[in-house]
Structure 1
C-alpha cells in the first residue's frame, strides 16, 4: 500500500500505533567502562548521599556516622580555636601582627604545619573519641531491632563505655526478662491445659450419666460430682490468674505498716480451725508491737499455702516460728511428715510440679508463694528439719520501715 500522492513504500522500521506483532527492541546493555562513574559523577553521588543522610528525619533512617563525626569535629574545632584565640590575641597586642606572622613562618613547616595542627588535632580527637561510641550505638540499635522482631535470645555486647555500658546492660536485662515471661507463659498454658483434662473428663462422664440415670441416687451423685469439678475448675482458674498476675507484673507489692504478731496469730488461728487433726505449735520471738512493711493479702496467701502443704504431709504435729534477725522477718514451717528429697528441693517451686499426686492440688501453691516472696524482695527455701522429721520451709523478707 502506498501513501497518497506518491508511490514510495513505507519504511519497515516505522511501526504504526496498532502494530502489536513487532517484537520489542533488545535491552540496551552497558559495558563495564560505561558503568564506571566518572570522578565528577562519583563525587556528586557521594555528596547527594551525604546530604540525604543529613536531611532525612525519618524515624527508621539508618544513623549517619559522617553526620555525627562532622558535628563533633566542628564543636572540638570551635572549642580549640576559642582556646587558642586568647594567647594569640595577647601576642598580637604585645608584639604586633608582623612579628607574630614572621614567627609562625619561621617554624618548621611554616603556616602549613600550624594549619594542619590546628585543624587536624580536633579531627583525630573526634575520631578517637566518637568511633568506639558510634560502634556501641550501632550494636545497641541492632539488638533493639532484634528485640522488636521477637529475637530475645540475642544479647548486646558488654561495653565499658560509661554512656553505652548501662544501656547495653539494661537491654540484656530486658531480653532476659522477656525470655522468662515467654517461658512462663508457655509453661502456664501447657500446665493449665494439662490440669483441665481430668475435671473436664469427669464432667463429661457425669453428663452421660445424667442423660440416663439408673436411679435417683446416681442422679444426685452425678450432680454432686459436677459441682465438685466446677469448684476445682474455679480454684484452678483463680490460682492461675494469681500466678500470672505475679509473674507478669512488675512485682511491686502494696506494702503497708502491719503489726506482725497480730497478723501471725491470725494465720495460726485460722489454720488451727481448718486442720483440726494436726497440732500446730507457734513460736513467736519478736516484740508484740513490732510493725513491718508487707502486703498482707499476698503474704497471707503465701502463709496459707505453707500451712496447707504442712497439714497434707504432717503426721500429727506442725511447728511454725516467727523471728526478726538482721533486719529481716523470718518465718519457718516444719512438719513431721516424710520430708522432701534433696534433689527435688529446687524443683518444687516451679509451676505445676507435684511430688505426690495422691494429695490433690495443682502444683501452683509453692510457685505463687515464691512469687510473693520475690515481690517483697525476699526468698523461700527448703532446708533440713531442726526439730521434727519432715520438711522445713523458711521464708524471709526485709522488714522495711513502718
Structure 2
C-alpha cells in the first residue's frame, strides 16, 4: 500500500518539475527570457542614465557625457566594433540591429549600438557601446524564482497530501478488512462513512461480503443438517440388517448382508467427516491449550491403525510446548500419517523442528512438521487440488485404499485455524512430503 502512494508522490513531483520547465520555456519563447527581464530591472539605473543623460546630449557632446559617466560610475563603458560584438554574441540579435539594448545576464553586461546613421561622430554607426560590471545578481534572482516555484509546489502538494492521507487510511481499512475476511472472519466489514473517498468501493465490498457470508452459512447449515438427518436412516438400516442377518439361513445371504453393513459403515464414516468439516469452518471450534508437542506427535504415531509400514519419528529436542488445540492438531497430523501409510512403498517418516532463524536469535521460532513417504508421489500440478474436499488422484480411486478425499482438506483447515499452512512437496524419500508450518508460540 505504501508503494502505491510513494509512486503517486514521485509522479506528482515529476509532474511539477516538468510543468516548471514547460512554463519557463513557454514564457521564454513567447515573452523572452525571464532572466533577461530580471537583469534589465536590476540594471535599470544604468540604462536610464544612458538613455536620459548621455543620449539626450547634442551630437558633439555625446562622447563628453559618456566620459563623465565613466568617471563617476563603477560600471565600465567601452566602445567596440560592431563586427566584434556580433562575433562575441555568436548569433543574430534583431534588437542589436535596430538599436535596442541587448542584455547578457551571465556576463553582467549590455550592448547597444551608438546609433544607426553615424550622427554622434564619424563612424558611430559601426560601433557598439558595451557596459560591463553591471549590478546584476542572477543568483539572487534564481533563488527568488526557485522560491516562487517551491511555494507553488507546496500549495499544490499540501491539499494532495491531505487527500492522499485520507485516501490511504481508507485503503488501509479495506486491506485490513480483506485480510480478516480471507482469514475466516466472515463478519468483517469495512463500514466506512459516506464521506470517505473510497466509500462506493467499500459499500460494494461489504455487499459482496454479506452475500458470501450468507452463501457459506447456508452451505454450512445444509451440510450440517443433511449429515445429521442421514444418521437416522443409517441407524435404521444398520438395525434392520442386524435383524435380517440373525434370521437369515442362507450363507450367500450372510455375505450380502455383511457387504451391505460394510457400505453402511463407510457411509456413516463419510457423515462423520462431513460433520467434522462443517465444524472446522468456524474459528470458534478452536480450543487452545498449552501442549507438549513432542508428546502429542508421539501419541499420533502410537494411535495409528495397524499397517505394514511402520512410522519412523525424527523429533527435534527443542520443540517444547506450543499453544494449540491438541485434538485438532492431532487430527491433522494423524490424517497425514494415515494418508502416507496408504501410499507408501515401505517407509513413512514423521519429523519436526523449530525454525532455525528464531533459535539463532534466542527466541521461539516457528514449528515445521513434515510427513514423508516413499510412495508414488504427487504431480506438481495436483498439489493444490488434493486439498479440495472429495478430490482424489486417479491412482487413489481404487476402493481398496478407502477414504473419501476429505482427510487432507480437514488437515489443512485444522492447521489454518492455528494460523499455519499446509503444503505438498516432493520427498527426499522419493514420494510425497506434507509440510505443516505453525507460527511461533
Q: TM-score, normalised by structure 2?
A: 0.46
Bigger-Rg structure (1/2): 2
Q: Which has the higher contact order (CA 8 A, sep 6+)?
A: 1
